[in-house]
C-alpha cells in the first residue's frame, strides 16, 4: 500500500519497514536495530536523503497522483525544511506500516478467541468491511498521545499544572461503555463499527483516515488470505 501511495520503488520496499521499525523502537531493548538515539537519527537522515532524491525527481516531472508528487508540487509542502520533511516522512511511513501491522497481528488472535465471530465472517465475507474497523477499535494499534499542558487546569477531578505531561490512552475511549455498546466484546457486525477513537479526532485525527476504504479493502483481502 505504501509503495503504491508514495510511488516508491518496489524493489526497495523493505526500506520502508526498516525505517518504520527504527523510528518507533526503544533503543534500549534487547535486539534493537539501533543502539542509541544518534544511530536512530543517522538512519532517519539516510531515509530523508533517499526519499529526498525521489522528491526532487518528482518536482521535475508534471504533477502526479502519488503522495510524493503531491508534496513536491504542493505550495505548502514543496519547500519544507529538512526537519519538517523528515517528520512528514516518519508520519507517513510509520502510519502506513506500524498501525496496519499491529492491527492484523491483534486481529488474528481476536478472531481465534471469538470463534462465533469468525464463523460469521466465514458465512458472510462482506462482513470484512465492518470487521476491519472493529479490529481497529478492539486492538487500538496506536497506544497513546502525550501532550504538555500549557496552562493550569482542573479536569476530571484532577489538577493539571503547566508543564505536566498528560497522556491520552486511545483504548480508554474505545472501551468506554458510555460511548460504545458492550465495549469489551469483539463483535464484527456492529451496527456502528466506525464509532471509535483509534484514528484520533479533531486536529489529532490520523492523516490517513481518508484512505480507510482503500486500506480496509487491502487489509481485508490480506487478512482473509491468511484466514483461509
- 45-78: per-residue pLDDT in tens? 999 999 999 999 999 999 999 989 999 999 999 9
User: How far apart are the two ends of the chain, measured CA to CA in Å?
Assistant: 21
Q: Which residue has the higher pLDDT, 73 or 209?
A: 73
Q: Taking all residues of the chain, what is their mean pLDDT, rounded to a whole number? A: 87
State the pTM of this model: 0.74
**Residue 42 — φ and ψ, nearest 5°?**
-65, -40
Q: How many angstroms separate the CA atoms of 148 and 162, rounded?
A: 8
pLDDT of amino acid 154: 95
Q: What is the pLDDT of residues 27-41, one digit of tens each?
A: 999 989 999 999 999
Domain spans in the chain, listed from the N-terminal domain onward = 1-97, 114-228
pLDDT tier for residue 22 given thresholds of 50, 70 and 90 = very high
Nearest C-alpha neighbor of 70 from the set 203, 217, 80: 80
- Pairing type for strands 153-155 and 144-148 reads unpaired
Nearest C-alpha neighbor of 165 from the set 181, 180, 144, 185: 144
Secondary structure (DSSP) of 125-164: GGGHHHHHHHHHHHH-SS-EEEEE-SS-EEETTEEE-TT-
Interacting residues of 18 by C-beta distance below 8 A, sequence separation 6+: 33, 43
Question: Phi/psi class of residue 157: alpha, beta or left (left: φ > 0; alpha: ψ in -120 to 50)?
Answer: left
Q: What is the pLDDT of residues 77-119, one digit of tens each?
A: 999 998 899 888 888 888 778 788 888 899 999 999 999 999 9
pLDDT of amino acid 149: 95
Percent of residues in the chain assigned helix, strand, coil, to nearest 5:
60, 5, 35
Residue 217 contacts residue 1 (beta carbons within 8 Å): no
Percent of the chain with pLDDT over 90: 59
Weakest mean pLDDT among 70-84, 101-115, 129-143, 193-207: 193-207
Interacting residues of 103 by C-beta distance below 8 A, sequence separation 6+: 132, 135, 136, 139, 141, 219
The whole-number average pLDDT for the span 124-149 is: 90
pLDDT of amino acid 88: 87
Q: What angle do CA 117, 119, 123 make, to 5 degrees?
A: 120
Amino acid at each position: 500500500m505504501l509503495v503504491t501511495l508514495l510511488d516508491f520503488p518496489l524493489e526497495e520496499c523493505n526500506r520502508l519497514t526498516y525505517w518504520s521499525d527504527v523510528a518507533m523502537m526503544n533503543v534500549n531493548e534487547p535486539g534493537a536495530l539501533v543502539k542509541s538515539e544518534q544511530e536512530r537519527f543517522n538512519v532517519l537522515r539516510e531515509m530523508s536523503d533517499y526519499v529526498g532524491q525521489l522528491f526532487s525527481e518528482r518536482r521535475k516531472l508534471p504533477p502526479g497522483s502519488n503522495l510524493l508528487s503531491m508534496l513536491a508540487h504542493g505550495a505548502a509542502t514543496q519547500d519544507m525544511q529538512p526537519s519538517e520533511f523528515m517528520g512528514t516522512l516518519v508520519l507517513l511511513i510509520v502510519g502506513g506500516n506500524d498501525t496496519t501491522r499491529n492491527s492484523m497481528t491483534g486481529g488474528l488472535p481476536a478472531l481465534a478467541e471469538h470463534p462465533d465471530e469468525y464463523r460469521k465472517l466465514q458465512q458472510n465475507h462482506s462482513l470484512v468491511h465492518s470487521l476491519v474497523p472493529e479490529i481497529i477499535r478492539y486492538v487500538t494499534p496506536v497506544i497513546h498521545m502525550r501532550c504538555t499542558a500549557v496552562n493550569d487546569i482542573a479536569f476530571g477531578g484532577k489538577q493539571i499544572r503547566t508543564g505536566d505531561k498528560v497522556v491520552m490512552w486511545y483504548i480508554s475511549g474505545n472501551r468506554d461503555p458510555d460511548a460504545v455498546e458492550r465495549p469489551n466484546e469483539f463483535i464484527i457486525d456492529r451496527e456502528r463499527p466506525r464509532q471509535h477513537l483509534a484514528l484520533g479526532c479533531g486536529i489529532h485525527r490520523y492523516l490517513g483516515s481518508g484512505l480507510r476504504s482503500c486500506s480496509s479493502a487491502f487489509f481485508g483481502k490480506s487478512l482473509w488470505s491468511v484466514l483461509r
